Copies of this chain bind each other. A is one copy, B any other.
Amino acid sequence: MVHVTPPDAGRRSERSRRAIFDAALSLVGEVGYDKLTIEGIAGRAGVGKQTIYRWWPSKAAVLLDAFTADAEAADHEQALPDTGDLAADLKFVLRATADEFNTPEFQAPYRALAVAAANDAKVAAEFTGRLLEPGIKVYVDRLRRAQQAGEIAAGVDVRIAADLILGPFTQRWLMRTGELTYAFVDTLVDLVLDGLRNPRP
C-alpha cells in the first residue's frame, strides 16, 4: 500500500490559492477548457507548478474549487421567492438562471466543469454534489412547498419534477440547440406544470 504524506494545510499560502483561482477562471474564459493547462495557470498565477499539483489532482479539480469559491462568496444563501404563484416564482428564478447562463464569466467555467463531469464519473460526483444539486435544491424546495399547498399532485416526486424543468433547460444550453430566452423558460414552466395533454388555456 502506497502512503503519501499529505501536505500540511496549515502552512498553505492563501495568496497562491487565490492567484490560482483567478488565473484558472480567467484562462478558461480565454482559451476554453481543453486548451486550459496547469502550466498556463501556474504561469499566470506566478506560482510553481508543484504548488498546484500539491493541492489538486487535476485541472478539473482546480476549476471546481475556483468556481465554488466564487459562488460561495457570491450567494452565501440562496433566495427562494414564494409569492404563492408557483408558475410565476419558477419563471422568475429560471429567468435569473438563464441570465446567469448567458453571462460569459459564468458560462465559461461552468461549461468547462460540465464537460469535465460528463467525461469522468469522479468529477461528475463532485460537480453534481457541490454545484448541480445545490442549484437544483432551490427548485425542489419551492416545489415541495407547492406540493404541501396542494398546487402539485401529491404523488409527484419533486426531485424528478425539478429535473423536468431543468433537464431541457440544461440540455439546450449545453448542446447549444437554442437560446435561453425568457420565452423559452416561460413555455417550459407552463408545459411542465400543465402537461402536454391539457388543452391550452
Residues of A within 8 A of B (CB): 32-34, 111, 114-115, 117-121, 124-125, 127-128, 132, 143, 151-157, 160-161, 163-164, 166-172, 174-177, 184, 187-188, 191-200
Q: Which residues of B contact A198 (CB under 8 A)?
A: 153, 194-195, 198
Contact A124 B168 (CB under 8 A): no
Interface centre among A187, A193, A194, A196 (most CB of B within 10 A): A196
Q: Which residues of B contact A192 (CB under 8 A)?
A: 164, 192, 195-196
Complex CA gap A121/B33 in Å reads 13
Smallest Cβ-Cβ distance to A119: which chain B residue: B115
Complex CA gap A117/B65 in Å reads 24
Complex CA gap A126/B150 in Å reads 45
Q: Which residues of B contact A195 (CB under 8 A)?
A: 191-198
Complex CA gap A164/B164 in Å reads 7
Contact B118 A160 (CB under 8 A): no
Copies of this chain per assembly: 4
Contact A154 B119 (CB under 8 A): no
Contact B34 A119 (CB under 8 A): yes
Q: Which residues of B contact A188 (CB under 8 A)?
A: 160, 164
Smallest Cβ-Cβ distance to A191: which chain B residue: B164
Q: Which residues of B contact A119 (CB under 8 A)?
A: 32-34, 111, 115
Q: Which of B117, B125, B160, B176 contacts A124 (CB 8 A)?
A: B176
Q: Which residues of B contact A111 (CB under 8 A)?
A: 118-119
Q: Which residues of B contact A163 (CB under 8 A)?
A: 168, 171-172
Complex CA gap A158/B114 in Å reads 27
Q: Which residues of B contact A169 (CB under 8 A)?
A: 167
Could you list 29 examples of A-B contacts with CB < 8 Å? A32-B119, A33-B119, A34-B34, A34-B119, A117-B175, A118-B175, A124-B175, A124-B176, A128-B177, A132-B175, A153-B196, A153-B197, A153-B200, A154-B200, A155-B200, A157-B187, A160-B168, A160-B184, A160-B187, A161-B196, A164-B164, A164-B192, A167-B167, A167-B169, A167-B171, A171-B171, A191-B195, A192-B196, A195-B196
